[in-house]
Structure 1
Amino acid sequence: MEGIPPSHQELKDRGLLHEWSRGMFTVFVSHQWLSSRHPDPHGQQLKVLRLALQGIVDGSLQVEADPISRMQGEQSGMSGRARKDVSNGFVFLDWFAIPSITVRKTESDVKSEVLRAVRSIPAYVEVADLFVSLVPELITDRGRALTAAENALT
Protein backbone atom coordinates (compact mmCIF):
# COMPACT_ATOMS: atom_id res chain seq x y z
CA MET A 1 0.00 0.00 0.00
CA GLU A 2 1.39 3.40 -0.91
CA GLY A 3 0.59 6.66 0.81
CA ILE A 4 -1.35 7.35 3.95
CA PRO A 5 -3.73 4.54 4.95
CA PRO A 6 -7.40 5.60 5.13
CA SER A 7 -8.93 6.93 8.32
CA HIS A 8 -11.87 5.58 10.27
CA GLN A 9 -14.25 8.07 8.66
CA GLU A 10 -13.03 7.31 5.10
CA LEU A 11 -13.50 3.57 5.64
CA LYS A 12 -16.91 4.15 7.25
CA ASP A 13 -17.99 6.31 4.30
CA ARG A 14 -17.01 3.48 1.92
CA GLY A 15 -19.01 0.92 3.94
CA LEU A 16 -15.87 -1.02 4.87
CA LEU A 17 -16.29 -0.96 8.66
CA HIS A 18 -18.43 -3.45 10.54
CA GLU A 19 -19.80 -3.20 14.07
CA TRP A 20 -18.68 -6.15 16.18
CA SER A 21 -21.27 -8.80 16.89
CA ARG A 22 -21.18 -12.28 18.41
CA GLY A 23 -19.85 -14.89 16.07
CA MET A 24 -17.52 -12.59 14.15
CA PHE A 25 -13.98 -13.96 14.02
CA THR A 26 -11.88 -10.97 15.04
CA VAL A 27 -8.13 -10.40 14.84
CA PHE A 28 -6.94 -7.67 17.22
CA VAL A 29 -3.71 -6.03 16.04
CA SER A 30 -1.45 -4.21 18.47
CA HIS A 31 1.06 -1.82 16.89
CA GLN A 32 3.32 1.14 17.57
CA TRP A 33 2.94 4.53 15.93
CA LEU A 34 5.69 5.55 13.49
CA SER A 35 4.77 9.24 13.51
CA SER A 36 3.22 11.69 15.92
CA ARG A 37 0.54 12.53 13.33
CA HIS A 38 -0.22 9.09 11.86
CA PRO A 39 0.56 5.54 12.99
CA ASP A 40 1.78 4.36 9.60
CA PRO A 41 2.25 7.33 7.23
CA HIS A 42 3.68 5.23 4.38
CA GLY A 43 1.72 2.01 4.89
CA GLN A 44 4.79 0.04 5.97
CA GLN A 45 3.13 -1.68 8.93
CA LEU A 46 0.01 -2.46 6.91
CA LYS A 47 2.17 -4.15 4.30
CA VAL A 48 3.80 -6.33 6.98
CA LEU A 49 0.37 -7.11 8.47
CA ARG A 50 -1.08 -8.03 5.07
CA LEU A 51 1.83 -10.39 4.37
CA ALA A 52 1.57 -11.93 7.85
CA LEU A 53 -2.17 -12.55 7.51
CA GLN A 54 -1.63 -14.04 4.06
CA GLY A 55 1.06 -16.30 5.56
CA ILE A 56 -1.31 -17.41 8.31
CA VAL A 57 -4.07 -18.18 5.82
CA ASP A 58 -1.87 -20.10 3.36
CA GLY A 59 0.12 -21.84 6.12
CA SER A 60 3.49 -20.43 5.06
CA LEU A 61 3.91 -18.46 8.31
CA GLN A 62 4.63 -20.51 11.42
CA VAL A 63 2.43 -19.39 14.30
CA GLU A 64 3.35 -20.21 17.89
CA ALA A 65 0.99 -20.45 20.81
CA ASP A 66 1.64 -18.06 23.68
CA PRO A 67 3.60 -19.47 26.66
CA ILE A 68 0.51 -19.89 28.88
CA SER A 69 -1.32 -21.85 26.16
CA ARG A 70 1.74 -24.06 25.60
CA MET A 71 1.90 -24.77 29.35
CA GLN A 72 -1.76 -25.83 29.17
CA GLY A 73 -0.89 -28.30 26.41
CA GLU A 74 -2.07 -26.39 23.36
CA GLN A 75 -0.13 -27.15 20.22
CA SER A 76 1.79 -24.53 18.30
CA GLY A 77 0.59 -23.76 14.84
CA MET A 78 -2.86 -23.16 13.46
CA SER A 79 -5.37 -25.69 12.25
CA GLY A 80 -6.90 -25.48 8.81
CA ARG A 81 -10.12 -24.34 10.48
CA ALA A 82 -8.32 -21.50 12.30
CA ARG A 83 -6.63 -20.39 9.06
CA LYS A 84 -10.02 -20.35 7.35
CA ASP A 85 -11.45 -18.28 10.21
CA VAL A 86 -8.64 -15.74 9.75
CA SER A 87 -9.29 -15.59 6.00
CA ASN A 88 -12.98 -14.80 6.60
CA GLY A 89 -12.43 -12.72 9.73
CA PHE A 90 -12.35 -9.06 10.65
CA VAL A 91 -9.35 -7.00 11.74
CA PHE A 92 -9.41 -4.54 14.65
CA LEU A 93 -6.68 -1.94 14.22
CA ASP A 94 -7.21 1.10 16.39
CA TRP A 95 -6.38 3.79 13.86
CA PHE A 96 -9.32 2.78 11.71
CA ALA A 97 -11.49 0.96 14.24
CA ILE A 98 -11.72 3.92 16.62
CA PRO A 99 -12.70 7.35 15.24
CA SER A 100 -10.01 10.01 15.25
CA ILE A 101 -10.61 13.15 17.20
CA THR A 102 -11.11 15.85 14.60
CA VAL A 103 -13.20 18.48 16.37
CA ARG A 104 -11.13 20.04 19.12
CA LYS A 105 -13.15 22.21 21.42
CA THR A 106 -10.73 22.36 24.32
CA GLU A 107 -7.62 20.46 25.28
CA SER A 108 -9.46 18.82 28.20
CA ASP A 109 -12.26 17.64 25.86
CA VAL A 110 -9.68 16.06 23.55
CA LYS A 111 -7.86 14.40 26.45
CA SER A 112 -11.16 13.04 27.75
CA GLU A 113 -12.12 11.57 24.35
CA VAL A 114 -8.67 10.04 23.87
CA LEU A 115 -8.78 8.55 27.36
CA ARG A 116 -12.22 6.99 26.74
CA ALA A 117 -11.03 5.54 23.43
CA VAL A 118 -7.88 4.10 24.99
CA ARG A 119 -9.83 2.69 27.93
CA SER A 120 -12.16 0.88 25.51
CA ILE A 121 -9.34 -1.10 23.89
CA PRO A 122 -9.17 -3.90 26.54
CA ALA A 123 -12.82 -4.71 25.81
CA TYR A 124 -11.94 -5.26 22.15
CA VAL A 125 -8.94 -7.41 23.09
CA GLU A 126 -11.17 -9.52 25.34
CA VAL A 127 -13.62 -10.41 22.57
CA ALA A 128 -10.97 -10.92 19.88
CA ASP A 129 -10.30 -14.47 18.71
CA LEU A 130 -6.68 -13.81 17.77
CA PHE A 131 -4.21 -11.24 19.10
CA VAL A 132 -1.39 -10.15 16.78
CA SER A 133 1.50 -8.02 17.99
CA LEU A 134 2.73 -6.14 14.91
CA VAL A 135 6.39 -5.34 15.62
CA PRO A 136 8.34 -4.93 12.38
CA GLU A 137 11.73 -3.25 12.51
CA LEU A 138 10.99 0.19 11.05
CA ILE A 139 12.16 3.81 11.30
CA THR A 140 9.98 6.49 12.93
CA ASP A 141 9.44 9.93 11.42
CA ARG A 142 12.10 11.19 13.84
CA GLY A 143 14.68 8.74 12.50
CA ARG A 144 14.53 6.36 15.46
CA ALA A 145 14.88 2.69 14.61
CA LEU A 146 12.27 0.48 16.27
CA THR A 147 13.39 -3.09 16.73
CA ALA A 148 11.12 -6.02 17.41
CA ALA A 149 12.56 -6.29 20.94
CA GLU A 150 11.84 -2.62 21.69
CA ASN A 151 8.32 -2.92 20.29
CA ALA A 152 7.61 -5.94 22.46
CA LEU A 153 8.49 -3.90 25.55
CA THR A 154 6.27 -0.90 24.76
Structure 2
Amino acid sequence: MKLAHLPLRVSIGAFFLNSGLSKRNLEGEAAQGMHGMAVGAMPQLSQLDPARFAKLLSYSEIAIGAALLVPFVPATVAGLGLAAFGAGLVQLYVKTPGMREAGSLRPTQQGVGLAKDVWLLGAGLTLVLEGLTHGRRLG
Protein backbone atom coordinates (compact mmCIF):
# COMPACT_ATOMS: atom_id res chain seq x y z
CA MET A 1 0.00 0.00 0.00
CA LYS A 2 1.32 3.43 -0.90
CA LEU A 3 1.62 5.84 2.00
CA ALA A 4 -0.43 8.38 0.01
CA HIS A 5 -3.32 5.88 -0.16
CA LEU A 6 -3.36 5.32 3.59
CA PRO A 7 -5.84 8.07 4.62
CA LEU A 8 -8.27 7.18 1.83
CA ARG A 9 -8.11 3.43 2.37
CA VAL A 10 -8.27 3.52 6.17
CA SER A 11 -11.14 6.02 6.39
CA ILE A 12 -13.32 4.37 3.74
CA GLY A 13 -12.28 0.85 4.75
CA ALA A 14 -13.21 1.42 8.39
CA PHE A 15 -16.54 2.95 7.36
CA PHE A 16 -17.35 -0.03 5.10
CA LEU A 17 -16.28 -2.59 7.66
CA ASN A 18 -18.47 -0.98 10.32
CA SER A 19 -21.42 -0.71 7.95
CA GLY A 20 -21.12 -4.34 6.89
CA LEU A 21 -20.78 -5.60 10.45
CA SER A 22 -23.85 -3.61 11.52
CA LYS A 23 -25.96 -5.27 8.79
CA ARG A 24 -24.98 -8.87 9.66
CA ASN A 25 -28.19 -9.62 11.56
CA LEU A 26 -30.58 -7.37 9.67
CA GLU A 27 -34.05 -8.95 9.41
CA GLY A 28 -37.71 -8.13 9.15
CA GLU A 29 -38.83 -4.67 8.17
CA ALA A 30 -35.30 -3.26 8.05
CA ALA A 31 -34.16 -5.92 5.56
CA GLN A 32 -37.39 -5.54 3.57
CA GLY A 33 -37.02 -1.76 3.34
CA MET A 34 -33.41 -1.98 2.16
CA HIS A 35 -34.29 -4.73 -0.31
CA GLY A 36 -37.31 -2.83 -1.63
CA MET A 37 -35.26 0.27 -2.36
CA ALA A 38 -32.59 -1.79 -4.14
CA VAL A 39 -35.21 -3.64 -6.22
CA GLY A 40 -36.64 -0.30 -7.34
CA ALA A 41 -33.30 0.53 -8.96
CA MET A 42 -32.24 -3.00 -9.94
CA PRO A 43 -35.32 -5.18 -10.54
CA GLN A 44 -33.23 -8.37 -10.94
CA LEU A 45 -32.60 -8.23 -7.17
CA SER A 46 -36.25 -9.18 -6.62
CA GLN A 47 -35.12 -12.81 -7.06
CA LEU A 48 -33.43 -12.63 -3.64
CA ASP A 49 -35.45 -12.66 -0.47
CA PRO A 50 -34.85 -9.60 1.75
CA ALA A 51 -32.91 -11.44 4.48
CA ARG A 52 -30.57 -13.03 1.92
CA PHE A 53 -30.08 -9.68 0.20
CA ALA A 54 -29.16 -8.06 3.54
CA LYS A 55 -26.63 -10.84 4.26
CA LEU A 56 -25.04 -10.48 0.81
CA LEU A 57 -24.89 -6.71 1.22
CA SER A 58 -23.29 -7.15 4.63
CA TYR A 59 -20.69 -9.60 3.31
CA SER A 60 -19.93 -7.31 0.36
CA GLU A 61 -19.34 -4.33 2.61
CA ILE A 62 -17.15 -6.38 4.96
CA ALA A 63 -15.10 -7.69 2.02
CA ILE A 64 -14.60 -4.23 0.52
CA GLY A 65 -13.71 -2.77 3.92
CA ALA A 66 -11.17 -5.52 4.56
CA ALA A 67 -9.66 -5.16 1.08
CA LEU A 68 -9.16 -1.45 1.68
CA LEU A 69 -7.66 -1.96 5.13
CA VAL A 70 -5.30 -4.85 4.37
CA PRO A 71 -2.01 -3.39 3.08
CA PHE A 72 -1.12 -6.23 0.70
CA VAL A 73 -4.32 -5.92 -1.37
CA PRO A 74 -3.32 -3.96 -4.49
CA ALA A 75 -4.93 -0.55 -5.03
CA THR A 76 -6.42 -1.73 -8.31
CA VAL A 77 -8.22 -4.67 -6.67
CA ALA A 78 -9.50 -2.66 -3.70
CA GLY A 79 -10.47 0.18 -6.05
CA LEU A 80 -12.45 -2.11 -8.36
CA GLY A 81 -14.58 -3.35 -5.47
CA LEU A 82 -15.14 0.15 -4.18
CA ALA A 83 -15.93 1.55 -7.64
CA ALA A 84 -18.43 -1.25 -8.35
CA PHE A 85 -20.20 -0.68 -5.04
CA GLY A 86 -20.18 3.10 -5.60
CA ALA A 87 -21.61 2.65 -9.11
CA GLY A 88 -24.46 0.60 -7.62
CA LEU A 89 -25.23 3.39 -5.17
CA VAL A 90 -25.14 6.00 -7.94
CA GLN A 91 -27.57 3.82 -9.92
CA LEU A 92 -29.80 3.65 -6.85
CA TYR A 93 -29.72 7.45 -6.60
CA VAL A 94 -30.49 7.99 -10.29
CA LYS A 95 -33.33 5.44 -10.48
CA THR A 96 -35.11 6.03 -7.18
CA PRO A 97 -38.05 8.44 -7.52
CA GLY A 98 -37.86 11.57 -5.38
CA MET A 99 -34.07 11.58 -5.03
CA ARG A 100 -33.46 14.14 -7.79
CA GLU A 101 -35.00 17.41 -8.83
CA ALA A 102 -37.19 17.03 -11.93
CA GLY A 103 -35.11 16.91 -15.12
CA SER A 104 -31.86 17.27 -13.22
CA LEU A 105 -29.11 15.33 -11.48
CA ARG A 106 -29.27 17.76 -8.55
CA PRO A 107 -30.46 16.00 -5.41
CA THR A 108 -33.61 16.81 -3.55
CA GLN A 109 -33.35 17.13 0.21
CA GLN A 110 -34.28 13.42 0.37
CA GLY A 111 -31.63 12.49 -2.20
CA VAL A 112 -28.59 14.10 -0.59
CA GLY A 113 -27.82 10.96 1.42
CA LEU A 114 -27.49 8.88 -1.74
CA ALA A 115 -26.06 11.59 -4.00
CA LYS A 116 -23.09 12.06 -1.72
CA ASP A 117 -22.08 8.44 -2.32
CA VAL A 118 -20.66 9.49 -5.67
CA TRP A 119 -17.43 10.01 -3.70
CA LEU A 120 -17.17 6.24 -3.29
CA LEU A 121 -17.19 5.80 -7.05
CA GLY A 122 -14.60 8.57 -7.43
CA ALA A 123 -12.33 7.14 -4.73
CA GLY A 124 -12.55 3.66 -6.22
CA LEU A 125 -11.74 4.91 -9.70
CA THR A 126 -8.81 6.92 -8.30
CA LEU A 127 -7.34 3.77 -6.75
CA VAL A 128 -7.86 1.81 -9.97
CA LEU A 129 -6.24 4.49 -12.13
CA GLU A 130 -3.36 4.90 -9.71
CA GLY A 131 -2.80 1.16 -9.72
CA LEU A 132 -2.96 0.90 -13.51
CA THR A 133 -0.82 3.92 -14.31
CA HIS A 134 1.64 3.62 -11.40
CA GLY A 135 1.46 7.37 -10.85
CA ARG A 136 2.24 8.44 -14.44
CA ARG A 137 1.24 12.00 -15.23
CA LEU A 138 -1.13 13.07 -18.00
CA GLY A 139 0.48 14.78 -20.98
| TM-score category, normalised to shorter length | 0.3 to 0.5
TM-score by length of 1: 0.31
TM-score by length of 2: 0.33
Higher relative contact order structure (alpha carbons within 8 Å, sequence separation ≥ 6): 1
Query: Is the strand fraction higher in 1 or 2?
Result: 1
Query: Is the helix fraction higher in 1 or 2?
Result: 2
